Structure 1
Amino acid sequence: MAKPRKKLPEKSVDIYCSKCNSALFQYKKGGKGALVKCFKERITKDFTSEPCQCPNCQQVFARETLIRGTPAYKMIGGKVWFK
């Protein structure tokens, strides 16, 4: 499996908690589909104090994993939204 591209995508999205609407990440997202995973190297701003946990309501919104040999967060469906 190929690794994700080194060059970051142009599009930047803000990721929010769906329970309390607090900001979680600012992320360089490629493509126009749903947010399924976040590669750690593409996160430009991280507002969380603990990994995969909302700083405001303490809800777990993702799991840490390796995707194609690269560290990433695998999002849990319905726990986050982005714009």
Structure 2
Amino acid sequence: MRSHDQLRPARPAGPLGASLGDLVSQPAEVDGLGAGPFLTSVLFLAVIFGVFARKRAAGHNRDAVSSPAEARLS
């Protein structure tokens, strides 16, 4: 049977998100954070929803505020 060190690539072999997912989900014995795949997926999903919610809130507030030039025209 191969050890975990022989299975891990010497450098990240994919996009940044995949590398971060590997870091978070891998056991601590192989230099990971040990969160596991389910918790890692939940964390990433929460971050994605948070980014979209923040962008939507920022866009909504921007539409509601008029510029000084628009205020003079009305």
With normalisation by structure 1, the TM-score equals 0.24
**Which structure is higher in strand share?**
1
User: Greater RCO between the two (CA within 8 Å, min separation 6)?
Assistant: 1
**Which structure is higher in helix share?**
2
Q: Decide which structure has the larger Cα Rg and report it.
A: 2
